[in-house]
Structure 1
Amino acid sequence: MTRGGARTNVAIREAAASLFYEHGYEATSLRTVASEVGIQVGSLYNHISGKEELLTDIMVSVMDELLEAVNNALVSVDGSALDRFKAAVDCHIRYHAEHARETFIGNTELRALSNGDLELVLAKRAEYERLLQKLIKDVAKETGADILDAKLQTYSILAQGAHVSSWYKPGGPKSLDKVVNTYIKMALRQLGVENAG
């Protein structure tokens, strides 16, 4: 692929993400995406097979990047299960705040995916859920915390990240570090280890 082709692919994905975020997947046409990029709608098909491919690409990329970021954060922590959990929550919240547009799309447009694409995205989400659930169980084992339901507590932490993507704005009244630290403390309290934060 030429550099121009690669730049066009990036521009198409960026335009689609922006339009899906602003107007929703269903309300966004390929004609609108093409217009945003400055190409003819027929030219889009030199780069994509259809609109769903764009949505799937955004969702898969979010999960791949999030898994990689959390795994890198865990590798960099040479400490306790509690330290690893805090690093994962930090990364989870920070990623959702810094990639609000893409994570918002990933959390609101699942219904638009067809079976094969939906299965792919759900498999990646399940992998991420298992990772967080294991970290919660490791914290319980290490600290003696009484975990009520590791699966539900995992869902709670996942929802907190999704929620951050809907309201956090850089330059707003709370710094990202303050938001992240508060969410870490809330997650620790939820696990019954509030004095560890």
Structure 2
Amino acid sequence: MTSVETRSRDRLLAAATTLFYERGFLATSVKEITQACGFTQGALYNHFASKDELLYELVLDIHTELETHTLRARSAAGPDPVDQFAALVAVHVAAHAQFRERSRVGNQEYRSLTGDRLAHVLAIRRRLRDQLADVLAAGAQSGVFHLVGGSAPGTARAVLDMCGLISEWFRDDGVLTPTEMHRRYVELALRMAGGPAAPRTWPVLPEV
């Protein structure tokens, strides 16, 4: 793919992200996406077989990028379960606060996918949950976490839901700065896990 083709594809994905964020996938037409880029309607089909394929590529990219950042953060946090948990939560907070449009589209519009495309995205979402659950289970075993009902997957889902909702309300000009946001949410998540009040080492605000 040439640089011109790559730029055109990226413009279509960016326009689709904003329109899906504002109206939803089902209410957005191919014509509206291409018009937002100044393209003819047929231009979309030079890069995607359909609007459904565009949605899949967009949602897959959102989820794959988030998984990459979480794996990197967990590895960099060292062996302590509390530090790993704090690092993972910080990545989810940063993603949902800094990239609200992409985050909301990824969390909501994946439901419009079907078949193998849906299965692929759901597998990534399960791995994201399992990363948190594995850390929580290790912490519970070592005695640093005390989970309600003893359920690591249940606590992981609750934490991810809490972080996911950030994209619904956070604003750059709001009361909380991104740094304050990630510290507050790490503290909330640690309380949900029955852990210490703060990690031994505060994770650096991640760039996602």
Q: Which moved more, 1:93-102 or 1:8-17?
A: 93-102
Structure 1 counterpart SS, 2:172: coil
Q: Please tell me whether the aligned partners of residues 82 and 144 of structure 2 are also in contact (alpha carbons under 8 angstroms).
A: no
- Summarize deviations over 1:29-55 as a string: whole Å, max 9, x none: 000111111111112111111111121
2:168 counterpart residue number: 166
Runs of at least 4 residues off by over 6 Å: none
Task: Give the CA deviation at 1:121.
Answer: 0.7
Q: What are the residue-to-residue correspondences of 1:115-154 with 2, within 5 Å?
A: 115-147=115-147, 148=149, 149-154=151-156
1:91 correspondence with 2:91: yes
1:16 correspondence with 2:16: yes
Give the TM-score taking structure 1 as reference length: 0.95
The separation in 1 between residues aligned to 2:83 and 2:89, in whole angstroms, is 10
Using CA pairs under 8 Å that are at least 6 residues apart, name the structure with larger relative contact order, 1 or 2: 2
Q: Please tell me whether the aligned partners of residues 77 and 87 of structure 2 are also in contact (alpha carbons under 8 angstroms).
A: yes
Kindly report the root-mean-square deviation, in angstroms, between the aligned alpha carbons of the 2 structures.
1.3
Give the TM-score taking structure 2 as reference length: 0.90
Q: What are the residue-to-residue correspondences of 1:1-197 with 2, within 5 Å?
A: 1-147=1-147, 148=149, 149-197=151-199
The separation in 2 between residues aligned to 1:93 and 1:87, in whole angstroms, is 10
Task: Give the CA deviation at 1:93.
Answer: 0.9
Task: Give the CA deviation at 1:115.
Answer: 1.6
Q: Please tell me whether the aligned partners of residues 133 and 154 of structure 1 are also in contact (alpha carbons under 8 angstroms).
A: yes
The separation in 1 between residues aligned to 2:157 and 2:47, in whole angstroms, is 36
Task: Give the CA deviation at 1:165.
Answer: 1.1
- Summarize deviations over 1:91-112 as a string: whole Å, max 9, x none: 1111111121111012212331
Identity rate of aligned residues, in percent? 28
The separation in 2 between residues aligned to 1:184 and 1:123, in whole angstroms, is 25
Structure 2 counterpart SS, 1:45: helix
2:203 counterpart residue number: none
Structure 1, unmatched stretches of 5+, are: none
Task: Give the CA deviation at 1:79.
Answer: 4.4
The separation in 2 between residues aligned to 1:94 and 1:144, in whole angstroms, is 25
Q: Please tell me whether the aligned partners of residues 85 and 139 of structure 1 are also in contact (alpha carbons under 8 angstroms).
A: no
Q: Please tell me whether the aligned partners of residues 48 and 54 of structure 1 are also in contact (alpha carbons under 8 angstroms).
A: yes
The separation in 1 between residues aligned to 2:163 and 2:57, in whole angstroms, is 20
Task: Give the CA deviation at 1:144.
Answer: 4.4
